[in-house]
Amino acid sequence: MQGKIMQTIETQGEILDSNVIEAVGLKKAYGQVQAVNEIDLRVKKGEIFSLLGPNGAGKTTTVEMLEGLREKDGGVIKVLGLDPWTNGYSLHKKIGVIPQGFRFFEKETPPEAIRYYADLFGVKADVSEILRAVVLEDASKVWFENLSGGQKQKVGLALALVNDPEVLFLDEPTTGLDPQARRAIWEVITGLKKEGRTVLLTTHYLEEAELLSDRVAIMNKGKIVAEGAPQELISRFGSGERLNVTASPELVDYLQAHTDLSFEIDRGGNISIRINQRGDALKALTAIEESGLAWSELRTERDSLEDIFVRLVGGTLEEHGEIALKKK
């Protein structure tokens, strides 16, 4: 099996040229629990790739194997052409890592932290440039313990950049931050992409993944259940554009009797009319007006990546939700 997997990777030379992370048939078990169950994963050079999933899906185990911090049970991994477990010393000089819940010495300032890490890596670091890159110049004289949550995460990003890495692994870098601090971290991450660096991100914030990512993979119970660009997944698994209106049951009856529109209703009186083609919106508005019935809160809506995530990890597309499809 191992030889077959290696042959699969070796025969995909054209793909490997553009991939900085490659995993085929990756497995890891803890006793009887298959935490990572023969997944394939490829991350292209210069992209932001998000690994998503509920707690226990296998995300952190996967990332730790890719980083060389945990040994795999099976499969093949190549990060920048190296096996993370057997060539970890060489690889760690080329990657940057922010673990979950990053902490540092309380009585150190950001510049001192950067110089400390530079000594560990045996490299010369441009402290001012790194502070500028993570937008931390104004806090250069503040001890770590007195920094805000967002600034502490920026210190983590700064340390991940000390060795000028080609690939960064960011494990939930914005967890627990307020919206303003999260957006500040987003700006830093997009700046890293502009510099040509590759970022593998794990996050529980689906809005964050949708905004930042070139591609995402959704894990559930050790398997990858969907992978692609956020908008691609929304188009593939979503329910399309909808016109939403709050109205009485009488309007539901009117739409059923006078149109061929597909729509859904919930218990709160919200009607969601599916817009399959441009004319459907005009047809719906005309019918609503001609009914003479009261309505409110007219708006258009489409699925987000979070909607898709909930559908994929919370049950089948048919089983999810409380709404019942109505069609004449």
Kindly report, residue by residue over 2-53, the tens digit of the pLDDT: 454 444 444 444 434 579 999 999 999 999 999 999 999 999 999 999 999 9
Least confident of 77-86, 109-118, 208-217, 273-282: 273-282
What is the location of CATH 3.30.70.860 in the chain?
Answer: 239-302
> What is the share, in percent, of the chain residues with pLDDT greater than 70?
91
* Whether pLDDT at 297 is above 90: no
Of 300, 301, 298, 276, give the one whose Cα is nearest residue 288.
Answer: 298
Q: Which of 6-15, 90-99, 235-244 has the highest mean pLDDT?
A: 90-99
* Whether pLDDT at 214 is above 90: yes
Kindly report, residue by residue over 150-180, the tens digit of the pLDDT: 999 999 999 999 999 999 999 999 988 889 8
Token couple for 15:
């793909």
**Residue 192: pLDDT band with limits 50, 70, 90:** very high
Higher pLDDT, 220 or 268: 220
Spatial contact of 139 and 110, defined as CB atoms under 8 Å apart: yes
Provide mean pLDDT across the span 58-76: 95
* CB hemisphere CA count around 314 (13 angstroms): 12
Kindly report, residue by residue over 283-295, the tens digit of the pLDDT: 888 998 899 988 8
Least confident of 14-18, 71-75, 81-85: 14-18
Higher pLDDT, 260 or 168: 168
Dist CA 301 CA 303 (whole Å): 7
- pLDDT for position 323: 30
- pLDDT for position 250: 86
Dist CA 109 CA 99 (whole Å): 20
Q: 18 in helix, strand or coil?
A: helix
Q: Identity (one letter) of the amino acid at 232?
A: E
- pLDDT for position 251: 87
- pTM attached to this predicted model: 0.79
Average pLDDT across the chain, whole number: 86
State the residue for tokens 């692609």.
228
- pLDDT for position 14: 40
Cβ-defined contacts of 273-282 (< 8 Å, 24+): 273/242, 273/243, 273/244, 273/245, 274/239, 274/240, 274/241, 274/242, 275/240, 275/241, 275/242, 275/243, 275/300, 276/240, 280/243, 281/243
Q: Provide the pairing of β-strand 215-220 with 48-52.
A: parallel
- pLDDT for position 279: 84
Spatial contact of 23 and 83, defined as CB atoms under 8 Å apart: no
How is 183-252 classified by DSSP, letter by letter? HHHHHHHHHHHHTT-EEEEE-S-HHHHHHH-SEEEEEETTEEEEEE-HHHHHHHHS---EEEEEE-HHHH
> What stretch of H or E contains 26?
strand 19-30
> What stretch of H or E contains 139?
none
Of 113, 181, 120, 125, give the one whose Cα is nearest residue 153.
Answer: 181
Find the radius of gyration of the CA atoms of the chain: 24
Token couple for 101:
């819940």
**Residue 318: pLDDT band with limits 50, 70, 90:** very low
CA angle at 303 for the pair 299 and 304, rounded to the nearest 5°: 115
- pLDDT for position 100: 79
Provide mean pLDDT across the span 122-132: 93
- pLDDT for position 316: 37
* Whether pLDDT at 320 is above 90: no
Dist CA 27 CA 72 (whole Å): 6
Dist CA 245 CA 301 (whole Å): 11
Q: What's the CATH code, domain 239-302?
A: 3.30.70.860
| Tally of CB atoms within 10 A around 206 | 20
CATH architecture of the region 2-235 = 3-Layer(aba) Sandwich (3.40)
Distances 324 to 68, 267, 270 between C-alpha atoms, Å: 47, 10, 12
φ and ψ at residue 210, rounded to 5 degrees: -65, -40
- pLDDT for position 17: 56
What is the location of CATH 3.40.50.300 in the chain?
Answer: 2-235
